Structure 1
Amino acid sequence: MEFCDDCGSMMKTEGDHWVCGSCEFEKPRDEKQEQAMTTTQGQVSTEIVDVSDAEDQGLPSTKAQCPKCDNDKAYWYMQQIRAADESETRFFICTECEHKWREDDH
């Protein structure tokens, strides 16, 4: 990822140049520098969250319907599972059966 020297906006590649989408500043691409860049493609979160004794871990609770047992209370936490420029995902843990689900699961 490259940022514009003039305005600080994120730049995109166009052929053999970096081009700013905001102010049209251009600079040549440097292949060696780009090879040293870290990408988020293929990165997978390996963090393991122990859901047992969730209350003792200090997790906050909220009103949320468990899809497994219909309990209406769950612990929740946020975790970054996608690229850093995307929002975090909220996970829920049922206070009764400890079933775990994501906010966007249906």
Structure 2
Amino acid sequence: MEFCPKCKSLMYPKEGEMSCKKCGYVKISETDKTELVSKTSRDNSDVTVLEEDTDIGLPTTNARCPECGHNLAYWWLRQLRSADESETRFFKCTKCQKTWREYD
């Protein structure tokens, strides 16, 4: 990650150069390394919660599962919205594996 020396905004790679979208400053890349930039966008409704057996080792709490009524669930926090808003709490039932979220 590189910042513009003039306006301190984030610079983006473009055709072997680093370019500032705010003030237009352009810097020729000094290294031969290839920059990796994702060209795909992600739908805001897509949230990867947990994949496969990553729930192993998560803390548990007393939380009633809306699916099966079991009272024990894994829990974790994930920042989904802007940084000035609270994190979202996720729960995963230890019995039926149903996942749900809770907002503040």
TM-score of the two chains, using structure 2 as the length reference: 0.51
- 1:70 alignment counterpart: 69
| Cα distance between partner residues in 2 of 1:44 and 1:55 | 23
Q: Deviations over 1:52-74 (max 9, x none)?
A: 43552x11000000000000000
Name the SS of the counterpart of 2:82 in structure 1. Answer: coil
Name the SS of the counterpart of 2:91 in structure 1. Answer: strand
Q: CA deviation at 1:78?
A: 0.1
Q: CA deviation at 1:46?
A: 6.0
Q: Deviations over 1:59-96 (max 9, x none)?
A: 10000000000000000000001111101010000000
TM-score of the two chains, using structure 1 as the length reference: 0.50
Change (3 A) 1:45 1:85: farther
Q: How does 1:5-84 map to 2 (within 5 A)?
A: 32=22, 44=44, 48-50=48-50, 52-56=52-56, 58-84=57-83
| Cα distance between partner residues in 1 of 2:64 and 2:97 | 12
Change (3 A) 1:83 1:60: same
Q: Percent identity of the aligned residues?
A: 51
Unaligned residue ranges in structure 2 (runs of 5+) = 1-21, 24-42
Higher relative contact order (CA 8 A, sep 6+): 1
Letter in 2 for 1:86: E
Number of matched residues? 63
Q: Aligned Cα RMSD in Å?
A: 2.4
Letter in 2 for 1:81: L
Letter in 1 for 2:48: I
Name the SS of the counterpart of 2:50 in structure 1. Answer: coil
Runs (4+) of structure 1 exceeding 6 A deviation are none
